[in-house]
Amino acid sequence: MLKELNQLMDHIERHLTEELSGMDIVRITGVSEYHFRRMFSYMSGMTLNEYIRNRRLSQANINLVNQHSVTEVAYEYGYQSIEGFSRAFREWSGFLPSEVIKNKIQKSFPRFTFYIDIKGGVSMEFKIERKSQFHVVGVSKRVPIQFEGVNHSIVELAQSITPQQRQEMQQLADLYPETVLNVSFDFDEGYLEEQGSLTHMIGFATSRQNPYGDLEQITIEDSLWAVFPNTGPFPQMLQETMAKTYAEWLPTSGYELVDLPSILFTNHEDDSLNVYSEVWVPVKEKTTS
């Protein structure tokens, strides 16, 4: 995946004034646009859109220093108005484009190059499992996308579950872990800017069909899963495990992501500083060309 990441960085540089398409991402990296954008965000600490924006403004700075007009630079890098470009450039650099032309002020944002950085010697516990097709039965709602801290909309969803619904879910639960799963899917396009919504389901894994009218059911197709257990303060340890999964484990694992929902579960009965959780990541063995 490191090779493909750097190939995409090369592609972005060659087409910096053009829009990056999802088809280009899939063609170059071999993974879905959604999964690549999520992986890039975890690895780089910023979204792919932010990276491209910063690279464009950095190159625009060079063009301005070389006495290109503000109008020319604004439209070259995709801005619909001089005012919009000037505002974005000032937010990024602290200067107006006209000041850069006059005083030859330079600010840069170097292109990314991805490589393996061995540090710390901290190993990640994981196992690869094949799970046959199964269902998740429960309740769901659209919730705001939130990367850190407690998502209060998900808390409200959990609190809305009635005793009858909980009993029905538990009656259907016949697959590991036979406890509550949190399943996230159907993300809005603004996912990696922490904008928009996703569908979040709280439910139980089952091999059975749902007979209850007050519960929903989704089907998870047969897949390999990388399972990452973790123990520590909630939700910090869980979020740290998710970040390391994409930023450190995946690029050198020999696996690539499959376009299925994200799944995790947490044993909330544990002490709040010593909570056990598992992150399930759908994967397949990486093919070599």
Q: Are residues 131 and 247 in the same domain?
A: yes
Q: Are residues 146 and 19 in the same domain?
A: no
Q: Are residues 76 and 136 in the same domain?
A: no
Q: Are residues 97 and 231 in the same domain?
A: no
Q: Does the residue 118 lie in any domain?
A: no
pLDDT averaged per 10 residues, the chain (length 289): 83 92 88 77 79 92 91 91 92 90 85 62 76 96 77 90 96 94 80 69 96 96 92 83 78 81 84 86 79
Distance CA 172, CA 236 (A): 31
Distance CA 275, CA 178 (A): 17
Q: Does the residue 78 lie in any domain?
A: yes
Which of 88, 103, 118 terminates a domain? The answer is 103
Q: Does the residue 171 lie in any domain?
A: yes
Q: Does the residue 111 lie in any domain?
A: no
Q: Which long-range contacts (CB under 8 A, 24 or more apart) does 45-54 make?
A: 47/192, 47/193, 48/20, 48/192, 49/192, 49/193, 50/193, 51/12, 51/112, 52/12, 52/16, 52/20, 53/88, 53/92, 54/92, 54/109
**Cross-strand partners of 183:** 201, 263
Identify the domain containing residue 167 by its residue range.
127-285
Q: Does the residue 45 lie in any domain?
A: yes
* pLDDT for the residue 117: 52
Taking residue 265's Cβ as centre, other Cβ atoms within 10 Å add up to: 20
Q: Are residues 139 and 79 in the same domain?
A: no
Q: Does the residue 109 lie in any domain?
A: no
Q: What is the distance between the terminal CA atoms of the chain, rounded to a whole angstrom?
A: 12
Query: Going by DSSP bridges, is the β-strand pair 134-144/216-220 parallel, antiparallel, or unpaired?
Result: antiparallel
Q: Does the residue 88 lie in any domain?
A: yes
Distance CA 191, CA 198 (A): 8
Residues with Cβ < 8 Å from 55, sequence gap 6 or more? 12, 13, 16, 109, 111
* pLDDT for the residue 194: 53
Instruction: Name which of 229, 235, 218 is nearest 151 in CA terms.
Output: 235
**Cross-strand partners of 224:** 130, 283
Give the CATH number of the domain where residue 7 resides.
Answer: 1.10.10.60
Q: Are residues 133 and 99 in the same domain?
A: no
Q: Does the residue 117 lie in any domain?
A: no
Total number of domains constituting the chain: 2
* pLDDT for the residue 118: 44
Distance CA 140, CA 9 (A): 37
* pLDDT for the residue 120: 44
* pLDDT for the residue 123: 58
* pLDDT for the residue 46: 80
